Amino acid sequence: MTTPRDPRAARLAHLAALVADGTRAVCLLALLDGRAWTAGELARYAGVAPSTLTGHLDRLVTGGLLAEERQGRHRYVRLAGPRAAQLVEELAAWSGPADLPRRGGLRAATADSAMARARTCYDHLAGRLGIALTDALADRGLLLRETGFALTGAGLEWFAANGIALDPGGRRPLARACLDWTERRPHLAGAAGAALCRHALETGWCARIGSERAVRVTAAGERALRDLLGVPPDALR
């Protein structure tokens, strides 16, 4: 007897083919910084000719992983949304060991260390910083994570009391677990994770480092996170 083929199989194979290319994978990982990049910027970052990159971007846009917009003669691309970012981050977490790849030179090693310490994952915080914040929220009874992530009533009050605006009526989940690809543990994502990241950058708790996704916790951020969540400064360095 012939077993009917699952119609999802072709779609899954097509999605796998989209990311099964080194150049496209580099672009997807770069776009986890949450910004829109020009095609020229991505071509330089990936180390390929602009004409070569165009074909890759076309496939990713058609496949629904990227969205694009044009301003004048510039073509900008970004991840299509939080679901696309979640897919890329979780594939990265499953793809290899937790250690960041060794790159040549002191400058590259320093950048790798900064990424592991604290970075943005699309629109929320990741790395050791993201894990420390997630643990602190859970330890204080603000976040439940036994059967998936969920803010408690006290957690909702904590966000409101500290001026961190949430959008509970939005289409994305309020709290979601995102597997951290360096720590191999879930950090807080969803609307709450995005709001916390946005607040940290807007208030100066965190500052971006260079052009990559790495961020650093400022002195003001160390004081705020110690006072509000009991996170020791040493855990943020």
Could you read off the pLDDT tens digit of each residue along the chain, which spans 237 residues? 455 678 788 888 888 999 999 999 999 988 888 788 999 999 999 999 999 999 999 999 999 999 998 888 888 999 998 888 888 888 887 765 544 444 444 344 445 678 888 999 888 999 999 999 999 999 999 999 988 899 999 999 999 999 999 976 667 889 999 888 788 889 999 999 999 999 999 999 999 987 568 899 999 999 999 999 999 988 777
CATH of the domain at 60: 1.10.10.10
Instruction: State the total domains in the chain.
Output: 2
CB 193 within 8 A of CB 218: no
Predicted confidence at residue 103, as pLDDT, reads 47
CB 87 within 8 A of CB 55: no
163-176 CB burial, b ≥16 within 10 A, e <16: ebebeeeeebbbbb
Predicted confidence at residue 4, as pLDDT, reads 60
Is residue 212 included in any domain, yes or no? yes
Largest Cα separation within the chain, whole Å, is 68
Give me the domain span that covers residue 76.
8-80
Residues 70 and 234: their CA atoms lie apart, in Å, by 44
Task: Report the residue count for the chain.
Answer: 237
Predicted confidence at residue 237, as pLDDT, reads 74
Same domain, 118 and 210: yes
Residues 154 and 143: their CA atoms lie apart, in Å, by 9
Q: Which residues contact 43 (CB under 8 A, 6 or more apart)?
A: 49, 50, 52, 53
Residues 185 and 132: their CA atoms lie apart, in Å, by 11
Residues 80 and 9: their CA atoms lie apart, in Å, by 22
Same domain, 70 and 183: no
Same domain, 51 and 159: no
Is residue 3 included in any domain, yes or no? no
Predicted confidence at residue 2, as pLDDT, reads 52
Same domain, 142 and 200: yes
Predicted confidence at residue 23, as pLDDT, reads 94
List the beta bridge partners of residue 119: 126, 214
Residues 235 and 128: their CA atoms lie apart, in Å, by 8
Same domain, 118 and 62: no
Predicted confidence at residue 112, as pLDDT, reads 62
Predicted confidence at residue 211, as pLDDT, reads 58
Residues 171 and 83: their CA atoms lie apart, in Å, by 11
Predicted confidence at residue 82, as pLDDT, reads 83
Is residue 1 included in any domain, yes or no? no
Radius of gyration over every alpha carbon of the chain, rounded to an integer in angstroms: 19
Same domain, 41 and 147: no
Torsion (CA) 54, 57, 62, 66 in degrees, nearest 10:
-150
